[in-house]
Every structure is written in C-alpha cells, then in structure tokens.
Copies of this chain bind each other. A is one copy, B any other.
Amino acid sequence: MRLSITCLVIYMDKRIDPWGASDISDYDKLMREFGIEPFSNVIKSVPDVHKYMRRGIIYGHRDFSRIAQAMKNKAPFVMLTGLMPSGKMHLGHKMVADEMIYFQENGAHCYVCVADVEAYLTRGMDTKVMRELAINEYLLNYIALGLKPKKCRFYFQSDFSNEYNVISKYFSKKVTFNELKAIYGGESLTTGKIVSALTQVADILYPQIDMGKPTPTVVPVGTDQDPHLRLTRDIASRFKKEYNFILPSSTYHRYQKGLSGSKMSSSDPTTYIALTDSRKEVEGKVKRALTGGRDTLDEQKKLGGSPLKCTVFELYKFHFMDDDKELSKVFDECRSGNVMCGECKGRCIELIVGFLLKHQAKREKARKVLDKFLK
C-alpha cells in the first residue's frame, strides 16, 4: 500500500527561477545538478514524521539530519519561512503554514517573514496593502491553523531590527555579479533583485544572530527557491570568521496542482480553494476540477481512473486525508473503477467544507490574539 503512495512523486517544478514559478519535469536531474538529497535518506532519523514527508510531498533536503537531531535532543533550532502576500490565502499557502506549525510543535523557534521589501522591489506591490493583507489574511489563518505566539517572531522586511538591515548590506561585500547572474540569469538581474536577494539572505541568517549563537536553521521551500538557499549557504560560509554561522538546512516540497491541472495561481480563483471560500464556492470549484477520469462512465468502470492525473486526489493527499491507509483506498478505488469521479468529488467537498467551517470559526477567534504576534 505504502508503495502506491510514495511513487506518486512524479510531477515537479522544472525551471529554477525564484521570481516566477513553473512546472518540473525532471526531478532526478535537479537533485543531481544542485545537490539536493532525497528526503528518504534522512526520514528514519526524524522523530515525528509529517504526512508530507511520508507521502513524498517533502521530497528533498539539505543537511536535514542536523534538524532531526535537534528535534530529537530538544536542542534549539530555528525555522524560517517567508510569505509574499498576494490576494487570498489558499490551500497552496496552507501547505507552507502546515510545515511551519509542524516545526514549531517540534520545538523550532519560528521566524515568519513578510517579504514586503522583496515584493515591492521585484513586483512593485504596495507596502501598505501588503501589511494589511499579511496581518488580516495570512497571520490570521496561521493562527487558526495552529501557530502559537511563543517562540515566534512574525516580522516585516520593511520593519525589523537594525542589525538585520546592516548584515544584508555587509553580505554584498562577498558576492559577485557572476554568482548572482548564474542564479537569476544574466539578463534579468537588476539592482532591485540584488538588494532583494541580499535581504532574503539576511532573513535566513539573521535568526542565528538574534538567537545569540550559531543555531541550526531549517527553511522549508519549493524547488524554485533553492537558488536563494545556495546563495545563502555560500555567503554564510564566507562570513564564518565574523559570525560563525551554521549553514542553513532546507527541505523541498513539490507544489499542489491547481484545480485546472496546471499551476495554482493567486490571480485565478478557479485554480485554488481559498481558506475563506464558502460551501457554494467549494462545490463549484471541485465540480469543475480536472480529474483522471475517462471519457465515458463505462470506460472508467472497465479501465479505472488515473489518480496521478487527478487534482481532486491531490486535495485528499495534501490536505483532507491524514490517514495513509484511507488515502490508499481512495487511490485503489479510483484505479479499479469502483468509485466514479462524481462520488469521489462529493466526498471531497464534504471533507473540505467540514474543514473550512471549523477553520473559519477559529479564524474569527484568532483576531483576539493577533496582537501577541505583532508586539
């Protein structure tokens, strides 16, 4: 049974471009070229294995054994993640929040960065609008999903400590254009992107200064963010003498497909389910979602469906079915032609709506503790 699940990791992000996002087709090549290790190599040492790890959604890592060890020994470690607020928070964002909360529950000091300087520099987004969105959309949902204020620094790139700002300037001393070009592509490199990249490097390394000593740090990212990690590790090693940084660890997750089968996009609500969606919206979106069904019911009963192509199966797998056996059953029932798409979608809708109702109630309560994160 386990096999049928772990073999699902096929679809991946291809182009390494941290400023855009796209699909991956050659996951092995990526690992070989950039030195990302398969997560399966380290999973046995993880004390509390998350479903994303078991299911190959978190498929790769760098130096994660350092984090696993800290988790095991209850030693201090840091989790850093960033958000770029752009529209409603949806299930794609929830995945990142799930990882963040998992690490916090396992002892991490959480640094949650609103990348508003980066968003302004690379996308021209308005910082005031972002601030409002980050607090009343993202932070509120994080709290409802389980993020606790203890050992958590929720901050804006545009409003953090002096030392954070200054190290990002110092880092510029030990990085060349050619390194930045190799990462971002020569032609698309701009002054703004350089400053933005250096700010991100400070996001990842500053927590070690804030913690008062070199501290293992994990950054859960998608593959497209790996260039930032490589840059950060290079810079960290060049400032060994000044700051004695421990090179940051990272985990790599694959992205959930959008409901139309292609990329989930904040600018196209039909591709995602938002955490604020109503039953009616969920029903409409799931009913139109791309599945792995056949052209006719008869054909599907005879040949079975293709859950690997199905965006509804992804909903179960990423979010709405924690039990692996149950998920395997859904997979097998589809492949065998025993359950048709309509029935399967109906079941999924009920799970989603059940989750959202509870979540939305928690979200309202969360307003009361917002201040604890913003002090």
Is A296 part of the binding interface, using a Cβ–Cβ cutoff of 8 Å? no
User: Are B191 and A172 in touch, CB under 8 angstroms?
Assistant: yes
Task: Evaluate whether A195 and B169 lie within 8 angstroms (CB atoms) in the complex, with A162-B159, A162-B162 already known.
Answer: yes
Whether A120 pairs with B190 at a CB distance below 8 angstroms is no
Interface segment out of the listed A174-182, A208-216, A261-269: A174-182
Report the nearest B residue to A158, measured CB to CB.
B166
Which listed residue (B162, B169, B196) contacts A121, Cβ 8 A? B169
A residues contacting the other copy or chain, number (CB 8 A):
27
Are B195 and A120 interface neighbours, CB within 8 A?
no
- Inter-subunit contact A120/B165 (CB<8 Å): no
Q: Is the CB of A194 within 8 A of B173?
A: no
Copies in the complex: 2
Q: Would you give the 0/1 interface string for A184-216, flagging 1 where the beta carbon is closer than 8 Å to chain B?
A: 000001111011101100000000000000000
Question: Which residue of B117, B162, B173, B199 is within 8 Å of A120 (Cβ)?
Answer: B173
> B194 and A194: CB pair below 8 A?
yes
Q: Chain A binding site: helix, strand, loop or mixed by DSSP? A: helix
- Across the interface, name the chain B residue whose C-beta is closest to A198: B195
**CB <8 Å contact, B117 and A166:** yes
CB neighbours of A165 from chain B (8 A)? 162, 165-166, 169
Q: How far is the CA of A373 from the CA of B177 in the complex (A)?
A: 39
Check if A19 is an interface residue, CB within 8 A of chain B.
Answer: no
Q: Shortest CB–CB separation between residue A266 and chain B, in angstroms?
A: 22
> Which of A121, A124, A165 counts the most chain B CB atoms within 10 A?
A165
How far is B192's CA from A173's CA once the two chains are assembled, in angstroms?
A: 5
State the CA gap A160–B162 with chains docked (Å). 7
Decide if A243 is an interface residue (CB 8 Å cutoff). no
In the assembled complex, the CB of A200 is this many whole angstroms from the nearest CB of chain B, namely: 12
Please give, as numbers and ranges, the residues of chain B lying within 8 Å of A180 by CB-CB distance.
191
Q: Which residues of B have CB within 8 Å of A124?
A: 173
Most B CB contacts (10 A, CB to CB) among A173, A190, A198 go to A173
A170 interface residue (CB < 8 Å to B): yes
Closest B residue, CB atoms, query A160? B162
Rounded to whole angstroms, the CA-CA distance of A195 and B172 in the bound complex is 7
Cross-chain contact A199 with B169 (CB below 8 angstroms):
yes
Which residues does chain B contribute within 8 Å of A158, judged by CB atoms? 162, 166
- A195 vs B169: C-alpha distance in the bound complex, in angstroms? 6
The 8 closest A-B pairs by CB, nearest first: A165-B165, A172-B195, A173-B192, A172-B191, A172-B192, A158-B166, A169-B195, A121-B173
